[in-house]
Structure 1
Amino acid sequence: MRAIKIDCIEKAKRELSLIGADVSGVNIMSAKAIHRVIRVENVPIKAAIMLKQEMLSKGGEAAVSWGVGNLSVDATDVLLMGTAKQFNELNKKLKAQPFGLSKLADVLRGTLNNLEGNKCKGLICRGHCLPLGERTIIMGILNITPDSFSDGGSFFDLDTAVEHAREMVELGADIIDIGGESTRPKAEPVPLDVELERVIPLVKRLVQGIDVPVSVDTYKAEVARQALEEGAHIINDVWGLRADPDMAGVVARYEDVPLILMHNQKGAEYGIMMDDILGALLESIDMAIRAGVREENIVVDPGIGFGKNTDQNLEVMNRLWEFKTLGYPVLLGTSRKSMIGNILNLPVTERVEGTAATVAFGIAQGVDIVRVHDIKEMARVVKMTDAMVRR
């Protein structure tokens, strides 16, 4: 006797087939093998009562605030618990219900579908295609700054930066991410003209000199605009469109330019942290889509090390799989960060093993892209972890 972990329809069908169930039985029973727990926030009390009753009628469970029983609250969060089949039946019933439950059904269906896998199977980058799901994509970090926390000054010279980019590609980098301004805590902001002087010449050299997409790590719309005009393939915004309102419009002009939206905030104060982070990313996604960015071009980044202390970073790492509910590819950037240094009590130059642990764990939790400094070592970690996880 043994326990089996089943978290998607594909795995459910595989296990049912292995015991010899017929095809019709596999199709009928697979949704019964998956158990989901979904939290819905701030549901008005009338809708919450009906939602609970409907979930119970399907054989599932729904937890609400005790104040619902005596009508002492106006709204409550609801914790829905049930099999995928029960959720599917619930959705059908909710579509015909009042109090906003029909709209809730649409959101719930989308969330459940997202847990089955990314909508995006390939990330198109102006002629390059990055195969998501088949293997983990490696983004190599190329900081052309004098003050980045890890490699500031190492590749400040243009020729040195180009040579390092080529070396990273040879070692296994699928993307080169150029940063012209340090985003370490307490770093001085870089004026626009200075960032342009650092970034644009390198973009020009790399789009002609390497065979992988070139990403530009910037929150300034004008840097993104000029970089894209020179042929850059990806924009990586560490402020998730919140620093420059023109950024989304700049990227939206291109049909095949991915936009990475990272969670970031000033300070580390939260209500319910994961709710706040996911909510902020949803707002960034909405800003992008309203500006015209295509959904298939959006990538999300939990923002490890940004607006979070060490314990909070560890909590986010432990719950990375929750970002799958957003339905977009997930990028993880943990390379050499202070979280690793604080846990291992090691300087930046000695964090390769800690980085490897976070990369392997992130892949196991479903991330699609890892952003790293040490390409040779992390390419090996990625290949080994993919062999176990992406079977």
Structure 2
Amino acid sequence: MEFNPYVIHIHSERHLREEFLRIGSTEAGNRIMGKKGLMITLRIDNIGLKAANILKQEMLAVGGDAAVHRDVAALAIDHSSMVLTATAKQYEILLPKLKLQPFGLKRLASELEEVLGRHAQKWQPRALQCGSHQLPLGQRTLIMGIVNVTPDSFSDGGRYYDVEAAVRHAHQLVEEGADLLDVGGESTRPGHTAVEAEEELRRVIPVIERLVKELHVPISIDTYKARVAKAAVEAGAHIVNDVWGFKRDRDMAQTCADLGVPVILMHNRREPLESDVMNGIIREIRESIDLALEAGVKDENIILDPGIGFGKSYEDNLLVLRHLADFCGLGYPVLLGTSRKSVIGNTLNLPVNERVEGTAATVALGIAQGVDIVRVHDVLQMKRVALMADALVR
């Protein structure tokens, strides 16, 4: 009789428990083993030399491990980044010990506790309240349809520029399966021409007023201007989608906090990072989160977007798409916007109107890594992709 050994590629604690159940393990045993059988790898930065050496020893003591800069052992540097690897159970043992240590380790322990808690809750279903609408998060992937009321958007600029055309298009997107709609009055493509708030309002407000009367889905306003966000929400919009993550208009965070609506904070920057791209993106999106929370935006109203195509090179975009799970691991709902973008065109050498299959690949990969919402032009096709990916992942 063959033993049939093979490696199981465990991707979550739930998956691990399913494997235990298949062999007939008890539920009580599964709960205990679930925290022991899955390694969690964390990166931390700016650890002082003394703290780094203590943390390294404490990690080894609980059965985990830690990588530090080569010069830490020689006491040749003041600070180091570290990569920690341990099971959930080992972190549970570690954190109380760190809280008794000096050199900033008590504060670090609290931060690690929050990160691990968010990581554990990532796949838990909940509802996002958008006015009178509720969007289910964690149960299935939500489809955000794009309504560009602009003459110069990279994909469909000018096609839905007048109110009637935009409203007809929005109706079609909902019929095809859109769960929510994102209305924008200023193109944010590379090299776009900025528009004044007055012109942006002229474009989007009549469309929003019609859509909230005629359609029963949440409406998002795609803007980085506080004045436009306020007027759009007063006209009936339910969500504010800021492509600058509250960093372009300093009034935006307080405005959204006062409005009490969900916000989408996208990572963006004027020039690509020179190195250590994922670390930099996560550090900078945390700045946006801090701006939101400090202004009074509720934690449960924050959605994140890694900003594919914004302030990133072609290689950076591919890197981020490969590591979306790291971004999702921050514990907030994540929106992914790759639809027809240049990273797809550059990879496949195809024009904008022939990027559906490339978009589908990024959508499926994103769902597999934990994204909650996909922002797309081709709703019918991406709805089907999402249903199939959800059947496999969720």
Give the TM-score band, short-chain normalised.
over 0.9
Question: What whole-Å deviation, never above 9, does each CA across 1:239-294 have from its counterpart, x for those lacking one?
Answer: 00011011111111233x11000000101133311111001100000000100100
What is residue 47 of structure 2 aligned with on the other side?
43
Matching residue within 196, 203, 213 for 1:198: 203
What is residue 100 of structure 2 aligned with on the other side?
96
Matching residue within 141, 145, 154 for 2:146: 141
Question: What whole-Å deviation, never above 9, does each CA across 1:67-100 have from its counterpart, x for those lacking one?
Answer: 1112111111111112221111111211211111
1:287 alignment partner AA = L
Question: What whole-Å deviation, never above 9, does each CA across 1:132-184 have from its counterpart, x for those lacking one?
Answer: 11100000000000000000000011011111101110110001100100001
* Native 8 Å contact 1:239 1:261 kept in 2: yes
Moved more, 83-92 or 152-161: 83-92
1:258 alignment partner AA = P
Matching residue within 113, 118, 121 for 2:117: 113
* Native 8 Å contact 2:148 2:157 kept in 1: yes
Partner Cα distance (1:157, 1:39) in 2: 49
Report how far residue 57 of structure 1 moved: 0.5
Matching residue within 248, 256, 259 for 1:251: 256
* Native 8 Å contact 1:282 1:326 kept in 2: no
Matching residue within 265, 282, 306 for 1:261: 265
Question: What whole-Å deviation, never above 9, does each CA across 1:24-81 have from its counterpart, x for those lacking one?
Answer: 3222221111111111111001111110010000111111122111211111111111
3-state secondary structure, aligned to 1:88? helix
Question: What whole-Å deviation, never above 9, does each CA across 1:289-336 have from its counterpart, x for those lacking one?
Answer: 100100000000000000011111000000000012221000000000
Report how far residue 120 of structure 1 moved: 7.0
What is residue 278 of structure 2 aligned with on the other side?
274
* Native 8 Å contact 1:142 1:161 kept in 2: yes
What is residue 379 of structure 1 aligned with on the other side?
383
3-state secondary structure, aligned to 1:116? helix
Matching residue within 168, 177, 186 for 1:172: 177
Report how far residue 112 of structure 1 moved: 1.8
2:281 alignment partner AA = I
Partner Cα distance (2:21, 2:47) in 1: 40
* Native 8 Å contact 1:263 1:281 kept in 2: yes
Report how far residue 12 of structure 1 moved: 2.4
- 1:28 is aligned to 2:49: no
Partner Cα distance (2:350, 2:11) in 1: 36
Partner Cα distance (1:133, 1:67) in 2: 43
1:144 alignment partner AA = V
State the 4+ residue runs in structure 1 displaced beyond 6 angstroms.
Answer: none
What is residue 310 of structure 2 aligned with on the other side?
306
* Native 8 Å contact 1:267 1:307 kept in 2: yes
Report how far residue 341 of structure 1 moved: 0.6
- 1:212 is aligned to 2:217: yes
RMSD: 1.2
3-state secondary structure, aligned to 1:67? coil
- Per the alignment, do residues 370 and 252 of structure 1 end up closer, same or farther by CA in structure 2, a change over 3 Å counting? same
* Native 8 Å contact 2:125 2:139 kept in 1: no
Moved more, 59-68 or 298-307: 59-68
What is residue 291 of structure 2 aligned with on the other side?
287
Partner Cα distance (2:77, 2:99) in 1: 25
Matching residue within 51, 56, 66 for 1:62: 66
Partner Cα distance (2:162, 2:28) in 1: 64
2:49 alignment partner AA = I
Partner Cα distance (2:293, 2:41) in 1: 28
3-state secondary structure, aligned to 2:230? helix
Partner Cα distance (1:136, 1:183) in 2: 25
Partner Cα distance (1:104, 1:325) in 2: 18
Partner Cα distance (2:89, 2:365) in 1: 30
- Per the alignment, do residues 387 and 23 of structure 1 end up closer, same or farther by CA in structure 2, a change over 3 Å counting? closer
* Native 8 Å contact 2:222 2:241 kept in 1: yes
Matching residue within 120, 124, 128 for 2:129: 124
Matching residue within 183, 186, 189 for 2:191: 186
Partner Cα distance (2:334, 2:56) in 1: 32
2:362 alignment partner AA = T
2:269 alignment partner AA = Q
What is residue 82 of structure 1 aligned with on the other side?
86
Partner Cα distance (2:254, 2:313) in 1: 32
Partner Cα distance (1:67, 1:85) in 2: 30
3-state secondary structure, aligned to 1:303? coil
Report how many residues are paired: 389
1:101 alignment partner AA = L
Partner Cα distance (1:341, 1:97) in 2: 52
Partner Cα distance (2:34, 2:181) in 1: 41
TM-score (norm 1): 0.97
What is residue 366 of structure 1 aligned with on the other side?
370
Tell me the percent identity. 54
* Native 8 Å contact 2:269 2:310 kept in 1: yes
- 1:222 is aligned to 2:230: no
